Amino acid sequence: MCHFRRLYLHPMIRDAHGRKMSKSLGNVVDPLEVINGTTLEDLLKRLEEGNLDQNELSVAREGKKKDFPDGIAECGTDALRFALISYTSQSDKINLDIKRVVGYRQWCNKLWNAIRFAMGKLGDHYTPPATIVVSSMPPVCKWILSVLNKAIGKTVTSLEAYKFADATSAIYSWWQYQLCDVFIEAVKPYFFNDSQEFDSARAACRDALWVCLDNGLRLLHPFMPYVTEELWQRLPQPKDSCRKNSIMISEYPSVVQGMGR
């Protein structure tokens, strides 16, 4: 008897070449080796500790040397989770390429850099407002909040339809191409110029940046729970707010009507 109302059956995970993972081929990937990283020497040692005959062992050793000449880099749990979920659009098979997982590990560094930039520009005494007035903000702030709203809508709709790859794509595109590549670069001049004429714009940029990071981290949390928890805890919280103690139990972002969805 099944105790769950709904079950999601994910595709079969194969190696990067589309082959079914098999001990005799030596292409089985242990998730812990991807999370923690391992050397080629240790990969070969694990093969020798198995029960392969000499012919199978020879084939397996060559396969490991070809696929992982430098071993497997430490990727962490979040990068592996995000990669596997993003792969679910591949019909009934997932051809797992570790290089893609490594790419998402490097993307986690991008998230850290975004938070580091924000904390430096928000300052030690910044307190997020309870509400923001978007209409009085500079155009770039209006734009980033509008595309954030669209990303939230796309993510929520995709999750409700069990289209998890579409959800990861929407989140990744917003973080990478809109927040980091455009908005953060566009607002840097406001912070590098101390002129009083930019005081109002700087304040608006701080508020927009905080809203983006708070919502963006909560949006990403189901897919990358560890890094988002760590970064979210570093964000300042609104005065007299009832913010939850953990991002895990915080409310998931929802679309704000009338904000350019």
Picking from 20, 51, 72, the residue at the C-terminal end of a domain is 72
Q: Are residues 115 and 233 in the same domain?
A: yes
Residues 19 and 117 in one domain: no
Which position has the token pair 């999750």? 159
Helix axes 76-86, 98-122, angle to 10 degrees: 120
Residues with Cβ within 8 Å of 213's Cβ and at least 6 positions away in sequence, in order, are 114, 115, 118, 231, 235
- The CA-atom distances, in angstroms, between 101 and each of 168, 170, 182, 230 are 14, 18, 25, 20
For 37, phi then psi, to 5°, come to 80, 155
Residues 68 and 135 in one domain: no
User: CATH code at 130?
Assistant: 1.10.730.10
When comparing pLDDT for 78 and 244, which is higher? 78
> Residue 28 — very low, low, confident or very high, per pLDDT cuts 50/70/90?
confident
64 domain-assigned:
yes
pLDDT of residue 90 exceeding 70? no
Predicted local confidence at residue 12, as pLDDT: 87
Q: Does the structure show a pLDDT above 80 at 104?
A: yes
What's this model's pTM, rounded to 2 decimal places? 0.89
Is position 122 within any domain?
A: yes
240 shares a domain with 140: yes
Query: pLDDT band for position 49 (50/70/90)?
Result: confident
Locate the DSSP E strands across 55-130.
Answer: 93-95
Say how many C-beta atoms besides its own lie within 10 A of residue 164's C-beta: 20
How does pLDDT run across 148-173, given as a tens digit for each residue? 999 999 999 999 999 999 999 999 99
* Tokens (6 digits) for 12: 């079969």
- Give the N- to C-terminal CA distance of the chain in Å, as an integer: 42
Count of domains observed in the chain: 2
Supply 176's token pair: 């990478």
Single out the residue of 173, 174, 238 nearest to residue 210, CA to CA. Answer: 238
> Among 25-39, 122-136, 188-202, which range has the highest average pLDDT?
25-39
Q: Does residue 98 sit within a domain?
A: no
Q: What percent of the chain has pLDDT over 90?
A: 57
C-alpha distances in angstroms, 93 versus 15, 17, 59, 76, 114?
Answer: 10, 11, 24, 23, 34
pLDDT at 261 over 60: no
Average pLDDT over all residues of the chain = 90
In the predicted structure, residue 34 carries a pLDDT above the cut 80: yes
Q: What is the pLDDT of residue 233?
A: 94
Task: For residue 184, give its domain range.
Answer: 107-249
Which of 17-21, 72-76, 130-134, 190-194 bottoms out in mean pLDDT, i.e. has the lowest?
Answer: 190-194
CB-based contacts of 256, cutoff 8 Å, min separation 6? 149
On the question of pLDDT at 260 being above 60, the answer is no
Find how far residue 4's CA is from the centre of its chain: 27
Q: What percentage of the chain reaches a pLDDT higher than 70?
A: 97
Do 46 and 115 fall within a single domain?
no
Q: Token pair for residue 160?
A: 């409700």
**CA–CA gap between residue 208 and residue 219 (Å, rounded):** 16
CB-based contact 133:200 (threshold 8 Å) = no
pLDDT at res. 204: 93
* The pLDDT value given to residue 73: 95
Name the band, by pLDDT with cuts 50, 70 and 90, for residue 258: low
- Better-scored residue on pLDDT, 20 or 227: 227
Please tell me whether residues 68 and 149 are part of one structural domain: no
The predicted-structure confidence for 112-145, as pLDDT tens digits, reads as follows: 999 999 899 888 888 988 888 898 899 999 999 9
User: Do 17 and 130 share a domain, yes or no?
Assistant: no
Distance, in Å, from the CA atom of 82 to the CA atom of 164, rounded to the nearest integer, reads: 10
8-12, 221-225, 254-258 — most confident range: 221-225
Residue 168 and residue 119 share a domain: yes
Say yes or no: 133 and 33 in one domain. no
Residue 39 lies in a domain: yes
Q: Looking at the predicted structure, is the pLDDT value of residue 2 above 60?
A: yes
